Amino acid sequence: MTLCWVDGVAADSLSVKDRGLAYGDGFFETILVKSGQPLLLQRHLERLTLGGKRLGLSLDLPLIERECRSFASQMGQGVMKLIVTRGDGLRGYAPGHDAQPRRILQASPLPAYPQGNAEQGVRLYACQTRLAEQPLLAGLKHLNRLEQVIARGEWQDSDHAEGLMRDTCGRVIEGVFSNLFLIKGGVLLTPDLRRCGVAGVMRAELLALAEQTSIPARELDLQMSDLQKADEVFVCNSVYGIWPVRGVERLNWPVGPLTRKLQSLVRGLLDI
């Protein structure tokens, strides 16, 4: 059996009454584990806390942290997925007052991404699937991922390692499983995620690193025309770090010096 805990106990099954299954009522975090340690755990827990406040979930963060650290020590290395749902409920959207949040931890091996993704960079597929605006859920990694599922099904070729997603107004938002950054004139730019999109843990770490190293950075609305004017482009997440972007559709970019500098800083964080 794959290593899996439900509410702190080894298990490989879940109640059919779980609201995460019925309504996507919950959140998840994808956490890199190295040498038995969950990396960037505090940032993951911060986002989980924000999600709990938005949905009115009462979360025992000290318990979740203890379980994550204990689970990671058993894993050794790999990817730990933490899922928190509202727990069991009856039919109907209204959550019960006595619902008890459920904690699920799953272990997976490290993904076998080609080394060239980080070294030579990747091409992005321009997805037709659009992200709907919902400010209440914007930034959160909630369990409703059908937009990403549909978008990921748009390409099957090996020429594209990731997709580029826009919202219904055409604003550039993110990758299918990553966040997007542009560099123009030495300034680090990333899409404003107050309407939709996932505020990734690595995105937050990079914005903090930019402040620490005096790299000017801005969060703002970005269009495809801004991509045309960019000097460098890259995508990031908390598992693989940074992948330079070589192109999307007819646009192409070099792997630039600021991308390489940030890659070096991130390698130190993730030990990759």
Question: Annotated active-site positions, please?
Answer: 30, 141, 174
- How far, in Å, CA of 32 to CA of 177, rounded? 14
The residue among 107, 36, 110, 28 whose CA lies nearest residue 72 is 36
Partners of residue 252 on adjacent β-strands: 247
Identify the burial level of 16 via C-beta atoms within 10 angstroms of its C-beta, where 0-12 means exposed, 13-18 middle and 19 or more buried.
Answer: exposed
Residues 6+ apart with CB under 8 A from 72: 31, 33, 36, 37, 38, 80
Distance CA 247, CA 122 (A): 7
- Report whether 173 contacts 197 (CB < 8 A): yes
Q: How far from 272 is each of 32, 136, 267, 269, CA to CA, in Å?
A: 11, 35, 5, 8
Integer Cα distance of 228 and 68 in angstroms: 42
d(CA 209, CA 223): 25
Report which of 164, 179, 162 is spatially closest to residue 122, judged by C-alpha positions.
162
- Give the helix ranges, DSSP H, for 88-200: 116-119, 146-152
Mapping DSSP to helix (H, G, I), strand (E, B) and coil, where does residue 56 land?
coil
